[in-house]
Amino acid sequence: MKIVKGMLVALTLGAVSFGAFSAELLTKEAYNDHKDEYVKVGTITTSGETSPSDAKEELSKKADELGGKFYVVTSADTENKIHGTADVYNKK
């Protein structure tokens, strides 16, 4: 029983710590207020997502893959499926 409980605690902590390293969504206002603190590392897109939370998760994952810590959504379209574009940044 102790082994199962230990494994559950380890998995839970692993999930929490993994989420702590995800790229953070910045609003355009927050970016514009402090844009001299950021350096752009790329642009990412997502398409075919069915919900805003799925699109946000996909953009965050792609920002992580580029090594970015922050992303700012630059465009979004929700006609049939969600399509979004974002710029990815790190702090200087």
pLDDT tens digits for range 33-53? 999 999 999 999 998 888 888
Indicate the number of domains in the chain. Answer: 1
Query: Which domain does 39 fall in, by range?
Result: 28-91
Cβ partners under 8 Å of residue 55, min gap 6: 46, 49, 76, 82, 84
Confidence of residue 10 (pLDDT cuts 50, 70, 90): very low
In the chain, the N- to C-terminal Cα span, in Å, equals 48
pTM of structure? 0.73
Rounded-to-integer distance, Cα 83 and Cα 46, Å:
5
**For residue 11, what are its two tokens?**
């998995």
CATH value at residue 52 = 3.30.1660.10
Rounded-to-integer distance, Cα 8 and Cα 68, Å:
30
Cβ atoms of 90 and 67 closer than 8 Å: yes
